[in-house]
Homo-oligomer: A and B are copies of this chain.
Amino acid sequence: MTRTSILSAETEAAVDTTRVAVSTVIFTLRRAPRSEAPSIALPLVRRTRDPHEGQWALPGGWLDVAEGLDAAASRTLGETTGLAPSYLEQLYAFGAVDRSPTRVVSIVYWALIRPDEVPDESVENVRWFDAVDLPLLAFDHNEIVDYALWRLRNKVGYSRIAHGLLADEFTLAELREVYESVLGRRLDPANFRRQVENSGTLIPTDRFRTGSHRPARLYRYNQDVELADRGPLGIRH
C-alpha cells in the first residue's frame, strides 16, 4: 500500500468519527471554614446527559468549526460557569482512544484566578471542589486535573505563576501560603523570605497589612514581566 492510499483511508475515518472538544481547568485558592491553610480548588460542571450523566466534569464543550481553540475555551467556559479569566493558557491535548465512548480529542486549557475573582452567586450545576479531594469525574478528567496540578507544582519552581492566585499587593506570608498550597507541604518562613527577596522578582511597597498580627509589608510583582510568557505565539490561536 502506498503512503497516499494510507493517508486517504485515514482521512475518511477521521472525517467520520473524530471530534474535537475543549475543556478548562480553573484553579483558585479557597480557605475552608475553620481551616488554617487555603487549598487549591477548581469548578466542575454536573453533566446533564449521557455519557456520564450526573457525574462532575471539567467545564468545556465542542470546538466550533469557525472558532480558534483559545476562543472555544473561553466561550465554553463562560457558557458553563460564567467565568471569564483574562487569560487562558493551553495545557495539553488528551486523545486516548478509549477516553470517551466516541472518539474525542480534548484540547485542555487552564488558568489561575484570584479568590476575589470567583463569583459569589452560584451557577446551576456548577460547584467548586478541592483539587486533591475529587470524586470520580466523567471521562479521563481526574487524570487531566492530576496533570494540571503536576504542571502547576513544576511551574512555581521556575516562573511567577503563583502570582496569578494573589491580589496585586500581598504579604510574604500570603505568597508563602500560595506556594504551600500548590506544593502540598509547609515551607520554612525564614528560608522562603530569603529566597524570594534574593530572586529580585518582587517590589516592596510602602504599605503594610495590619490586623491581629504585627504589621506585614505588602509587596507587588514586577509589572514589566509577563505573568505567562507565550513566546512567539501571540494571541492568535
- Write the residues of chain A forming the contact surface with B, with a CB cutoff of 8 angstroms: 3-4, 6-7, 10-11, 13-20, 48-49, 61-69, 79-80, 90, 92-97, 103, 105, 107, 143, 146-147, 150-151, 154, 157-158, 231-233, 236-237
- Contact at A105–B105, with CB atoms within 8 Å? yes
CB distance from A27 to the nearest CB of B (A): 16
A67 CB, min distance to chain B CBs, angstroms: 7
A18: chain B residues within 8 A (beta carbon): 19-20, 63, 65
Contact across chains for A151 and B3 when beta carbons are under 8 A apart: no
8 A-B contacts (beta carbon < 8 Å): A7-B61, A10-B61, A10-B63, A13-B62, A14-B19, A18-B63, A20-B95, A146-B232
Can you name the residue of chain B whose Cβ is closest to the Cβ of A7?
A: B61
Instruction: Give A96 to B69 CA distance when docked, in angstroms.
Output: 7
Q: Which of B49, B96, B107 contacts A237 (CB 8 A)?
A: B96
B residues in contact with A68, CB < 8 Å: 95-97
Report how far A90 CA is from B95 CA in the complex, Å: 11
Q: Which residue of B lies closest to A69 (CB)?
A: B95
| Distance between Cα atoms of A199 and B220 in the complex (Å) | 30
Contact of A231 among B62, B66, B147 (CB under 8 A): B147
Tell me which of B48, B69, B232 contacts A105 (CB under 8 A): B69
Contact pick for A147, options B61, B64, B232, CB 8 Å: B232
Residue of B nearest to A79 (CB): B3
Known pairs A105-B107, A107-B105, A150-B231; A97 contacts B67 (CB<8 A): yes
